Structure 1
């Protein structure tokens, strides 16, 4: 793990790091399809740009690992990975057993420099990763996205398919599924649909969301 990919000194360094990380991202399947899956998510106090990030990595069928850390990097749109990744890496290091696939609450390559948090985290840890974004950072959905669960339509930015808009439940808001690392886009979409269980977000993401929020609430209670 290159230190400057986790803790860049300046915004210019962060831009260089994002481009290097995006270049290192693998977009083909290289993982054990039967390996355990985990979700990754963070929680923080609303509108608190200086407060701690509470991170959770939650394997299916095993306890979540969590970490709370003051982010070393200021909030800058498009550079959120540098705020969230240090706490997520710390949570990862606390896992007793590492999962073989990580579903991350946030974008993969659907990012202006193709380095959303799923790419950032996947490459840092060299773990297969999928990004599940809930709103758009870049690009436009091409074609008609059907109303039925399993419907998909490509998200295209500057002529490149950077994710798929995916309907995980009937008439619900879509999610934007993208490559994080060591997985193809088709496989990423299939895994998300298999784990959605009729909800907007797949089960591992929901586990991580709950664990991150519980960690934040416990931290705030200790500070009260």
Structure 2
């Protein structure tokens, strides 16, 4: 595994982040939505990553295709630089799909990232597809107001004076999700699609199923 040149990675992230489109440039009603999850552990001695994409048909949310990849990345686990480690495996999984999604919902951050280029933005830019970041925990951002306990409550997130996403509580009293623009999707549209693909669970159905599929890839590879 190569030693990371952090200065070069930062420069590359900033250059790619400049290509992120923060406005809607996606079909009004995409027929196929892809959930993306990449599983890894900094404590795994093999340091492999396990990527899965599950494609759902809209509006029924039936699974029409899926693909998974176990890969040995070129970089070690580096907080803030996971896109370089995980996106190549996700792109390989995408290449294996027979049915290509028109919108990606990615387990991770979009522009809610120190350099505004989390994995959802990274994958969206590399594939030039609309992408939404659906994070399960905070990377950056402070809510503008307290988040109510009711399902459907939201609060916009700011980091260094910039709006970078929103907290969304999908189930009453459950931990919220951290929603952010990935690529070619505005924040209101990102929130609308996360709500529309919810089925009463904490996670929207695309990323929930992708999380399960990545776990299956990991178990099949002995990880």
User: Could you tell me the TM-score, scaled by structure 1's length?
Assistant: 0.91
Structure 1 runs of 4+ aligned residues shifted over 4 Å read none
Aligned: 1:59 with 2:55:
yes
Matching residue within 5, 8, 13 for 1:18: 13
Map of 1:33 onto structure 2: 28
- Secondary structure of the 2:197 match is helix
For structure 2, the residue ranges without an aligned partner over 5 or more in a row are: 57-62
Distance 1:179 1:147 in 2: 24
Structure 1 residue 41: deviation in Å?
A: 0.2
Matching residue within 38, 43, 56 for 1:42: 38
- Secondary structure of the 2:221 match is helix
- Secondary structure of the 2:65 match is coil
Structure 1 residue 83: deviation in Å?
A: 1.0
Q: Is the 8 A contact 2:36 2:106 kept in 1?
A: yes
The number of equivalent residue pairs is 215
Structure 1 residue 8: deviation in Å?
A: 11
Matching residue within 67, 78, 81 for 1:79: 81
Q: 1:218 to 1:50 in 2, by over 3 A?
A: closer
- Secondary structure of the 2:208 match is helix
Distance 2:140 2:4 in 1: 26
- Secondary structure of the 1:24 match is coil
Higher helix share: 1
Structure 1 residue 10: deviation in Å?
A: 2.5
